[in-house]
Structures are given as structure tokens and as C-alpha cells.
């Protein structure tokens, strides 16, 4: 199963690369040329060095053109290497942008019910870190790995042509070096993951502390919070120490290996034994080139280790992205009855028929529930906490689909109503106001171009909040922030937001639950202003908040008929 997921992710990854390559042919060509150029120019300088030293040691003149070629090649190699990096980054970013675009589209297509069941942090890490790992797949993954492999093999072939004994020695040493490199890299990575986890705990703890600061002081939990903080910081410190340790030991051991290999080869090449000489003997110039190549071969080897790591995590990221993109967009499949039905007056505003629903398979919240509400009618729903009142509203709003039965809003199946038609249909007021970043006006319009400033002001007047808003420093254009309004006023703002688009149905969920009697009066008055001619469904624990009209009691898991 896991393999199948991974294969699908690989396919998906290859398709994304293929598509990006097709769209950006010139860029692809540039990347390929830069890589080939960087590898070749990187290999040539030691060969020139070999020639130069051999000429000098034979007492011949050192041609100026050779020196020029040597430094020229070093310069071009550096230039091509930067080109390669820059082009790879551009290429990776193009893929990333397309991936994020696709993810974003999916996000808007997924039903709210499906999304609300998922952990917000996990979903956003699909967008951020998983996409980043896929970008790395190109920057530091597949392409660089091919370049590094070519480099290792080419150096090896050159060394084999110069000194067979050395290449045999390297056949033993290189696998050991690679094993050591992977070992250190894996340990380092584990320590880095531990550190990130510890840091995430710390960054989570700080907002938690700020949010609950009053409770922390009131309950004397400050020292407990401090201990937790200290523990996370300690975890992070230990993990960083481990990383530092591995960082510190890696390079010296590689340098030592390098020196030992060079030492052995030099000793053997200088030995008088003709048999050893046939394997290890070489000219002075060749010796210089060989020393340079040996030190060159360790770097790509180390890179390959990291690249394997990058590819592994990119595959994991791709698998998760693929899973996200593969989720079913259930509401698209519900056949809508079209806009016409929404304006009909002869059908019930709300028709709930034998609905059974549970958020998960273990627990049923509503069982065989039925309710019919005529256009213009006011209905108050009561029932003890947990009876499923708010759940019923979410079903009416089409955020979830019932497991059995039917829900029709003006004749149209609730889950099939397109999002862009919902605001003209439902005004939904919750127990708590949910602020969006922006001004007070934005809170009412929700950035909907269809709602003009006049409409928003009219809504605020109906909600009895217009005068309060006008007294703010910048009136409707005051940036919204916590503490700008009292709890009752936030509720009035909620009502203004709900009625701004003149919806046909008002859904009021416990909107006066947290208010004192006087404020409750104001809110009820605002609601009565807003209710004019509309269908109103109101949830209330306390009948005192009733708006009149019919009362329906919801018992948990029991069917209530209208």
C-alpha cells in the first residue's frame, strides 16, 4: 500500500517535472548545458597542472598560454557552477509555483466538512514544507546527484588512466568513506529533526502562554509553564550539541583519509620495487594532478549522501501532496436543482426529511430527524447541550452531507448549493464573532464586491451598531482588532455581517448566550429589525430569548417532527 502511494507520488513528481520542462524548454536546455559545462571544466585544471609540472621538471619552458588556460578554466568552472545553481533554483521555483497553485485550487474545492476534520497545521505544512522539499528535489536532489555521479566516475576514470594502483586503493576507501558520510548525515539529520520538534514546541508554547496568561496567573501555573519551557529549550540545546559534534568530527576524518591515501600512494610510487612501480609509478606532474583529484573526489561523494536524503524526504512530501490532491470533492457530485428553485416561494424554505448524521461512524448525532419551515416563518430550536443543534445548522449550510435522508433549501439539495450562492441565501450568526484581517467595514462585507459601503452601513443600522461604529476614530475604516467592541457589540457586528447580503434565511446559533439581560434586549431588537419577512431559525437554550414563532425541541439522537 505504502509502495503504491510512493509509486503514484513518483509518477506525479515526474509528470510535474515533465510538464515544467516542456513549458520552459530554453531553461531546461540552459540547465543541461550549465551542468555538463561545470563538470567538464571542473575536471580539466589538474590535467593542465600535470602537463605544466612535467614540462618544468624536464627543464623545458612553461608556455604562458597554459597558465592562462589554467586560470581561465578555474574562472569558467566557477561561473558555470553559479549558472547551474541559479538556473536550477529558477526551475525548482517554477515547479513549486505550479504545485502551490494546484494545492490552492484544491483547497477551495474541498468541502468544508472534509477540511474541518483535518488538522490545520498538517494542511498548511502540505503548502509550505512539503512543497519546499519538492523544490529541493530539483535544487539539491536528482539533477545535482546526476552531476555528482558523473563527476565521481570521470575522476575515477582519469585516475585509473594515470595510476592503476591508486584506483584500486580508492575502490576500497571510497565505499568506506561513503558509509561513514551516510552514517554521520543520518545522525545529524535525526538531531536536526529533534531540534525542530523542540523549537516547534517552544514556538507553540509562547502563543499558548500569551493567550492563557490570565488563567496562568490566576491558577498559579507560572512555574509549571516555566518548567515546560525549560524542558523544550533543553531538548533543543542537546540536539544542537549533537549536530555540532557530528559537524566537528566529519571534516577532520575526511581530511585525514585524504592525507593517508595520498601518503600511501606517494610512498609506494617512490618505492624501488619494480612490481609495485608498475602499479603506482608516475611522473612528478601526474603526482600533482593525482593529489588534486583525490581531494576533489570526496566532495561529490559527500553531496551524493545529502542528495539521497533530499530525494527521500521529497518523495515523502510528494506522497503527502498527492494524498491531499487525491481527496474527493464530494459536493461537486451532488446534482443541483439550479438557481431557479432558490427564488421559488411555494416550496418550503427548509425541508429536513428523515435525516441521520454523525461526524464519524461511531457516534450518531441526529437520527431520523425531520423539520419543515415555511418561507417567512420563525422557529426556535431548543435542546440540551450536545443535542445536535449546531450540527443541524451545519447540515443546512451544506457544510456536511447527511448519512441518510434529505435536506432541501427552497427545493435545492443543501450540499449542492454552490458557495457563491450561499450568502444571498443564509445569514449565519454564531455564538462568537470571527474576525478577518481588515477594517470594520471589511468585517461586514467580507471583501465581497457585491456588497457596497451603503449596503454595509444599512446592515449596521439595522443591527443598531451604526452609531457605535461612527464614533470610532476612523469610523467604518478603523482597523479591526480585539478589544474594539464589547461582547454584545461583536454580536451586533455579526448580525450586520449576516444580513448585509439580504439573505432569505437567518440562522442564529445561541447569539445571546453570553450577554447580560440589557444587552440581550438590544441584540434581540436588532434581530427583530433584521428578521422582517425572512425565515428565521434560532437556537436557544433559554426560552426567554425566544423570538416567538414555533418551538422545536431537539433530543439527542431522537427524531423530532415539525
State the residues that interact with Mg ion by CB under 5 A. Answer: 390
Per CB under 6 A, the list member of 215, 218, 223, 385 interacting with ligand ATP is 385
Please give the DSSP secondary-structure letter assigned to residue 415. Answer: G
Q: Where are the alpha helices (DSSP H) in 270-411?
A: 274-280, 284-325, 389-396
Partner whose binding site includes residue 118, from ligand ATP, Mg ion, none (CB under 5 to 8 Å by kind)? none
Please, what is the minimum distance in Å from the beta carbon of residue 541 to ligand ATP?
A: 6
Q: Of 116 and 203, which has the nearer Cβ to ligand ATP?
A: 116
Q: Of 440 and 515, which has the nearer Cβ to Mg ion?
A: 515
Please, what is the minimum distance in Å from the beta carbon of residue 379 to Mg ion?
A: 16
Partner whose binding site includes residue 301, from ligand ATP, Mg ion, none (CB under 5 to 8 Å by kind)? none
Please, what is the minimum distance in Å from the beta carbon of residue 513 to ligand ATP?
A: 9
Please, what is the minimum distance in Å from the beta carbon of residue 363 to ligand ATP?
A: 7
Of 71-79, 242-250, 314-322, 389-397, the segment contacting ligand ATP by CB under 6 A is: 389-397
**Does residue number 359 form part of the binding site for ligand ATP (CB under 6 A)?**
yes
Q: Of 388 and 398, which has the nearer Cβ to ligand ATP?
A: 388
**Does residue number 361 form part of the binding site for ligand ATP (CB under 6 A)?**
no
Q: Of 41 and 390, which has the nearer Cβ to Mg ion?
A: 390
**Does residue number 391 form part of the binding site for ligand ATP (CB under 6 A)?**
yes
Of 145-153, 386-394, 441-449, 529-537, the segment contacting ligand ATP by CB under 6 A is: 386-394
475 φ/ψ angles, rounded to the nearest 5 degrees: 55, -130
**Grid coordinates in use for 457?**
452601513
Of 72-80, 328-336, 379-387, 499-507, the segment contacting ligand ATP by CB under 6 A is: 379-387
Partner whose binding site includes residue 365, from Mg ion, ligand ATP, none (CB under 5 to 8 Å by kind)? ligand ATP
Cβ neighbours of 6 (radius 10 Å): 15
Q: How many residues bind ligand ATP (CB under 6 A)?
A: 11
Residues 139-198 that bind ligand ATP (CB under 6 A): none
Tell me how far apart the alpha carbons of residues 415 and 409 are, in angstroms, rounded to a whole number.
Answer: 10
Q: Of 230 and 386, which has the nearer Cβ to ligand ATP?
A: 386
Please give the DSSP secondary-structure letter assigned to residue 482. Answer: T
Sign of CA dihedral 205, 208, 214, 218: negative
Please, what is the minimum distance in Å from the beta carbon of residue 362 to ligand ATP?
A: 10
Of 70-78, 130-138, 177-185, 384-392, the segment contacting ligand ATP by CB under 6 A is: 384-392
Q: Is 536 exposed, middle or buried (0-12, 13-18, 19+ CB in 10 A)?
A: buried
Task: Return the residue matching grid coordinates 440562522.
Answer: 507
Please, what is the minimum distance in Å from the beta carbon of residue 384 to Mg ion?
A: 11
Tell me how far apart the alpha carbons of residues 528 and 462 are, in angstroms, rounded to a whole number.
Answer: 9
Q: Is 181 exposed, middle or buried (0-12, 13-18, 19+ CB in 10 A)?
A: buried
Partner whose binding site includes residue 385, from Mg ion, ligand ATP, none (CB under 5 to 8 Å by kind)? ligand ATP
Tell me how far apart the alpha carbons of residues 195 and 41 are, in angstroms, rounded to a whole number.
Answer: 40
Which strands sit side by side in the sheet containing 350-357, from one edge to the other?
A: 366-373, 350-357, 404-409, 412-413
Tell me how far apart the alpha carbons of residues 59 and 56 are, in angstroms, rounded to a whole number.
Answer: 5
Q: Of 390 and 462, which has the nearer Cβ to Mg ion?
A: 390
369 φ/ψ angles, rounded to the nearest 5 degrees: -90, 135
Tell me how far apart the alpha carbons of residues 380 and 13 are, in angstroms, rounded to a whole number.
Answer: 53
Query: Binding pattern to ligand ATP, positions 89-128, x when CB under 6 A?
Result: ---------------------------x------------
Of 271-279, 385-393, 417-425, 449-457, the segment contacting ligand ATP by CB under 6 A is: 385-393
What proportions of the chain, in percent to the nearest 5, are helix, strand and coil?
Answer: 65, 10, 25
Q: Of 294 and 355, which has the nearer Cβ to Mg ion?
A: 355
Strands 550-553 and 412-413: what pairing?
Answer: unpaired
- Which residues contact residue 372 at a Cβ distance below 8 angstroms, ignoring those fewer than 6 apart? 348, 350, 351, 352, 562
Please, what is the minimum distance in Å from the beta carbon of residue 386 to Mg ion?
A: 8
What's the length of the chain?
A: 562
425 φ/ψ angles, rounded to the nearest 5 degrees: -105, -45
Tell me how far apart the alpha carbons of residues 17 and 94 are, in angstroms, rounded to a whole number.
Answer: 10
**Does residue number 548 form part of the binding site for ligand ATP (CB under 6 A)?**
no
Q: Of 303 and 390, which has the nearer Cβ to Mg ion?
A: 390
- Which residues contact residue 421 at a Cβ distance below 8 angstroms, ignoring those fewer than 6 apart? 339, 342
Per CB under 6 A, the list member of 96, 286, 390, 489 interacting with ligand ATP is 390
Please, what is the minimum distance in Å from the beta carbon of residue 542 to ligand ATP?
A: 11
**Does residue number 395 form part of the binding site for ligand ATP (CB under 6 A)?**
no
Q: Of 141 and 398, which has the nearer Cβ to ligand ATP?
A: 398
**Grid coordinates in use for 321?**
501532496
Q: Are the beta carbons of 536 and 504 closer than 8 angstroms?
A: no
Please, what is the minimum distance in Å from the beta carbon of residue 428 to Mg ion?
A: 13
Per CB under 6 A, the list member of 51, 367, 389, 534 interacting with ligand ATP is 389
Q: Of 263 and 386, which has the nearer Cβ to ligand ATP?
A: 386
Partner whose binding site includes residue 367, from ligand ATP, Mg ion, none (CB under 5 to 8 Å by kind)? none
Query: Which among 558, 559, 551 is positioned nearest to 373, based on CA atoms?
Result: 551
Cβ neighbours of 18 (radius 10 Å): 10
Per CB under 6 A, the list member of 204, 230, 386, 532 interacting with ligand ATP is 386
**Does residue number 387 form part of the binding site for ligand ATP (CB under 6 A)?**
yes
Please, what is the minimum distance in Å from the beta carbon of residue 391 to Mg ion?
A: 8
Please, what is the minimum distance in Å from the beta carbon of residue 118 to ligand ATP?
A: 11
Buried b (16+ CB within 10 A) or exposed e, 258-289: beebbeebeebbeeeeeeeeebbbbeebbbbb
**Grid coordinates in use for 407?**
435536506
Q: Are the beta carbons of 357 and 402 closer than 8 angstroms?
A: yes
**Does residue number 388 form part of the binding site for ligand ATP (CB under 6 A)?**
yes
Q: Which residues are at the interface with ligand ATP (CB under 6 A)?
A: 116, 359, 365, 383, 385-391
Amino acid at each position: 500500500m505504502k509502495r503504491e502511494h510512493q509509486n503514484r507520488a513518483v509518477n506525479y513528481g515526474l509528470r510535474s517535472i515533465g510538464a515544467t520542462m516542456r513549458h520552459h524548454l530554453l531553461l531546461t536546455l540552459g540547465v543541461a548545458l550549465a551542468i555538463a559545462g561545470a563538470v567538464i571544466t571542473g575536471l580539466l585544471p589538474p590535467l593542465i597542472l600535470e602537463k605544466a609540472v612535467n614540462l618544468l621538471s624536464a627543464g623545458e619552458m612553461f608556455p604562458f598560454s597554459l597558465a592562462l588556460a589554467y586560470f581561465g578554466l578555474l574562472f569558467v568552472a566557477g561561473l558555470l557552477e553559479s549558472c547551474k545553481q541559479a538556473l536550477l533554483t529558477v526551475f525548482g521555483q517554477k515547479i513549486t509555483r505550479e504545485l502551490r497553485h494546484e494545492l490552492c485550487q484544491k483547497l477551495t474545492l474541498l468541502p468544508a466538512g472534509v477540511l474541518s476534520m483535518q488538522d490545520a497545521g498538517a494542511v498548511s505544512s502540505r503548502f509550505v514544507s512539503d512543497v519546499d522539499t519538492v523544490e529541493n528535489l530539483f535544487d539539491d536532489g536528482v539533477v545535482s546527484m546526476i552531476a555528482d555521479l558523473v563527476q565521481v566516475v570521470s575522476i575515477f576514470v582519469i585516475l585509473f588512466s594515470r595510476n592503476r594502483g591508486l584506483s584500486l586503493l580508492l575502490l576500497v576507501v571510497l565505499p568506506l568513506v561513503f558509509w561513514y558520510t551516510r552514517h554521520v548525515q543520518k545522525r545529524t539529520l535525526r538531531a536536526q529533526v529533534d531540534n525542530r520538534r523542540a523549537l516547534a514546541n517552544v514556538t507553540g508554547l509562547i502563543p499558548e502562554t500569551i493567550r492563557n496568561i490570565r488563567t496562568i496567573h490566576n491558577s498559579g501555573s507560572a512555574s509549571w509553564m516555566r518548567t515546560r519551557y525549560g524542558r523544550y529549550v533543553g531538548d533543543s540545546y542537546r540536539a544542537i550539541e549533537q549536530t555540532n559534534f557530528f559537524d566537528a568530527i566529519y571534516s577532520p576524518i575526511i581530511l585525514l583519509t585524504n592525507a593517508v591515501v595520498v601518503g600511501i600512494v606517494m610512498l609506494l610510487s617512490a618505492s624501488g620495487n619494480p612490481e609495485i612501480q608498475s602499479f603506482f609509478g608516475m611522473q612528478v606532474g601526474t603526482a600533482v594532478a593525482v593529489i588534486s583529484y583525490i581531494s576533489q573526489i570526496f566532495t561529490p561523494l559527500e553531496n551524493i549522501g545529502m542528495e539521497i536524503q533530499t530525494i527521500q524526504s521529497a518523495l515523502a512530501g510528494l506522497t503527502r501532496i498527492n494524498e491531499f490532491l487525491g481527496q474527493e470533492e464530494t459536493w461537486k457530485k451532488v446534482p443541483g436543482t439550479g438557481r431557479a428553485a432558490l427564488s421559488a416561494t411555494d416550496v418550503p424554505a427548509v425541508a429536513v426529511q428523515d435525516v441521520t448524521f454523525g461526524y464519524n461512524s461511531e457516534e450518531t448525532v441526529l437520527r431520523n430527524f425531520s423539520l419543515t419551515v415555511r418561507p417567512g416563518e420563525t422557529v426556535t430550536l431548543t435542546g440540551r447541550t450536545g443535542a445536535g443543534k449546531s450540527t443541524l445548522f451545519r447540515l443546512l449550510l451544506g457544510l456536511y452531507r447527511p448519512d441518510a435522508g434529505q435536506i432541501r433549501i427552497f427545493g435545492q439539495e443543501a450540499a449542492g448549493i454552490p458557495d457563491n450562492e450561499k450568502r444571498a441565501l443564509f445569514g449565519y450568526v454564531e455564538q462568537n464573532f470571527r474576525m478577518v484581517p481588515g477594517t470594520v467595514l471589511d468585517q461586514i462585507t467580507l471583501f465581497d464586491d457585491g456588497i457596497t459601503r451603503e449596503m454595509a452601513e444599512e446592515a449596521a443600522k439595522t443591527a443598531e451598531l451604526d452609531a457605535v461604529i461612527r464614533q470610532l476614530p476612523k469610523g467604518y475604516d478603523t482597523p479591526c482588532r480585539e478589544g474594539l467592541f464589547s461582547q454584545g457589540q461583536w454580536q451586533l457586528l455579526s448580525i450586520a455581517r449576516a444580513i448585509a447580503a439580504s439573505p432569505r434565511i437567518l440562522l442564529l446559533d445561541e447569539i445571546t448566550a453570553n450577554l447580560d439581560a440589557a444587552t440581550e434586549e438590544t441584540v434581540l431588537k436588532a434581530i427583530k429589525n433584521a428578521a422582517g419577512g425572512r425565515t428565521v431559525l434560532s437556537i436557544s437554550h433559554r426560552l426567554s430569548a425566544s423570538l416567538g414563532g414555533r418551538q422545536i425541541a431537539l433530543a439527542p439522537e431522537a427524531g423530532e417532527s415539525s
